[in-house]
Structure 1
């Protein structure tokens, strides 16, 4: 058995790695994708393109604009001189926010009254618009508090701020609230899932397409040996890719790895059982590599969207939440984020590890049973 399995492994490694372009796709492209997606998948909102329509042009209005600029969230691209320019900038996407200050703003504040200010937002991206609005509200509220404190000091003759509540916040595990630290581990998960699943989805169908499946059928190799010979090389490739792109995430993006590497690779082994099992199942039901690739992408995109990668599972409808329980990416995401950011161990992550083990065994066993060492 070992001799037959060894021969199968050697054949599969040669077939996968003999092509220079395939080696590039397997080992270089994942690292490049991690870098590209690590920069692209980022929900931090800074330097929002902003236009200012200041009809007052007083010291008070200029102070408010200066506070928006100094916050780092708003980048003033243009000072508008006419009303029609507001719609033009928003329609063309050149401004995501327009700060409008009406005439009499400074006079109203000087009289001790509340002066309205309008912030026009491009609501096409509702998430970004909501974050921009929260930043603007906080800046305006701070400016209002400072004005009230100054007026109180002048009226009483003493420099004394009014009483209030000051909230001191502290974020654990991601103290600077960098969205990249949250998304880079997810990017690693998705890349490993895509690479290993695509490779395994073409493993058997490639033999059918090029006509070598007939030669394998007449050999004494058993079905289990054939499946192991097809999957073990991709398991090794999966571990190499996890180590490679984890290093990119840690050293290029400074994403912390606080947990155990041993636990990370153990969880990766369980995760690969599912990704390779799904790929093998696709390979057994497909007749051509094109069919296999199209079928793989029909699985990849729903699996990524229903994993909690970008959208919280808790916000999904209840039936969809139940559907995510069959998604191995969901569990591996919790594990890899816990290991990277929180340093959590087996005592916390064992439910996700158990779910991966069960899913992986079921999918892999079903794929093996589905494979028949026949041409039909």
Structure 2
């Protein structure tokens, strides 16, 4: 082996040993491909199943019950709520407890005898594009032929689809509210993690340690400016969404900014926690991306949440983005209030408290 090859081999061995000692980077090298493979191959499923739904059976006939049973067997909708009148549909949709409602009118039997008249109505949450696609599948079902035990092709339009909150089925109304959470996740977590690690690399952290600041005060002082930046980003996305894509804000702005503020705190707490685990800015950026990927893939922003396996849904419930997307879509598109969406608020508050406490304890340990 020539001297040049020996020198080259020495550098390669040195880099491999350094990577082996760098446990966080080594975990990223193995973890990111493994996570992407599992998410795309196992958790991501474009087939919509088990959407929560309600049924309003005003006919109370045998054919009506058989229709509900036939639609339930398709596994697209789970009819978890039984209502006597359509009055309760709006409240369940606004609170996010259902994605659709099947309304069987009192004159259902007469409608079955009229081929040109829709037999039933499906009310869907138009703020979710996935639900609209599932409703179109149900709308294509041959209701009369299902009950008669035969099929015709092509079937006549026998299910009337009523899309709440997005009757024109505009794609920006589904994507723009969710983009608020995606942008805040990407910027807040990464900016905070990198900013704190940069202070350590430049030696400024040692200077701050000599001050009377406690770990909690130091942590809060470093992240509070990012709260203002996050609120500014929220305002910018909402303004662009309104003036460029005509996305209205149907709910109260104070409710929306309160939800955004709590989500920003959750993202900053996660960023601070990452900064206590990373030694370099490169590691902090890698770790931020590592947390960002599963959030955007499992939160319901890109892929149908109900189509994922149960274990993937449980994992998604641990992420703040999952709950904020439900909050922002509920407030912006459905006009819901914070009281209607309090479980999502509670989940964000719990995540923020746990992540911030872990970050402060970890930061205190590193100071020692």
- Shorter-chain TM-score tier: 0.5 to 0.7
**Is the aligned partner of 1:198 residue 2:190?**
yes
CA shift, 1:274, in A, is 1.4
- Per-residue CA deviation, residues 151-172 of structure 1 (Å, 9 max, x unaligned), is xxxxxxxxxxxxx766543211
- Calculate the TM-score normalised by the size of structure 2: 0.56
Q: Distance in 1 between matches of 2:265 and 2:198?
A: 21
Q: Deviations over 1:320-365 (max 9, x none)?
A: 1111110110110011011111101123111111111111111111
- What residue in structure 1 maps to residue 74 of structure 2? none
Indicate yes or no: 2:169 matched with 1:182. Answer: no
TM-score normalized with structure 1 length = 0.55
Counterpart check, 1:271 vs 2:274: no
Q: What SS class does the counterpart of residue 304 from structure 1 fall into? A: helix
> Do residues 301 (structure 1) and 293 (structure 2) align?
yes
Matches within 5 A, 1:166-181: 167-181=159-173
1:371 aligns with 2:363: yes
Could you report, residue by residue, the CA deviation over 1:248-286 in whole angstroms, capped at 9, with x for unpaired residues?
Answer: 111110011100110111111211121111100110111
The answer to whether structure 1 residue 356 and structure 2 residue 348 are counterparts is yes
Alignment partners' CA distance in 1, 2:210 and 2:366: 10
Q: Pick from 310, 320, 329: which aligns with 2:312?
A: 320
Give the SS at the match of 1:170: strand
Aligned equivalent of 1:344: 336
Q: Which residue of 1 aligns with 2:230?
A: 238
Q: Aligned partners of 1:372 and 1:203: how far apart in 2?
A: 18
How has the CA–CA distance of structure 1 residues 203 and 165 changed in structure 2, closer, same or farther, with 3 Å as cutoff? closer
- In 1, the alpha carbon distance for the partners of 2:205 and 2:353 equals 26
Work out which of the two has the higher radius of gyration on C-alpha atoms and give 1 or 2. Answer: 1
Paired position in structure 2 for 1:292 = 284
Work out the CA distance in 2 between the residues paired with 1:269 and 1:187.
Answer: 16
Aligned residue for 2:248?
A: 256
Question: Compared with structure 1, are the counterparts of its residues 281 and 252 closer, same or farther at alpha carbon in structure 2 (3 Å cutoff)?
Answer: same
Tell me what 2:95 maps to. none
Tell me if structure 1 keeps the 8 A contact 2:276–2:366.
no
Q: Distance in 2 between matches of 1:180 and 1:252?
A: 10
Give the 5 Å matches for 1:1-376: 167-372=159-364
Q: Which moved more, 1:213-222 or 1:319-328?
A: 213-222
Cα distance in 2 for residues equivalent to 1:245 and 1:204: 26
State how far apart, in whole Å, the 2-side matches of 1:200 and 1:220 are: 22
Aligned partners of 2:333 and 2:341: how far apart in 1? Answer: 13
Structure-2 separation of matches of 1:300 and 1:187: 13
Q: Which runs of 5+ in 1 are unaligned?
A: 1-126, 139-163
Stretches of structure 2 lacking an aligned partner (at least 5 in a row): 1-129, 142-155
SS for the counterpart of 1:259 is: coil
Cα pair distance change 1:343/1:211, threshold 3 Å = same
Cα 1:331–1:165 change in 2 (3 A) is: closer
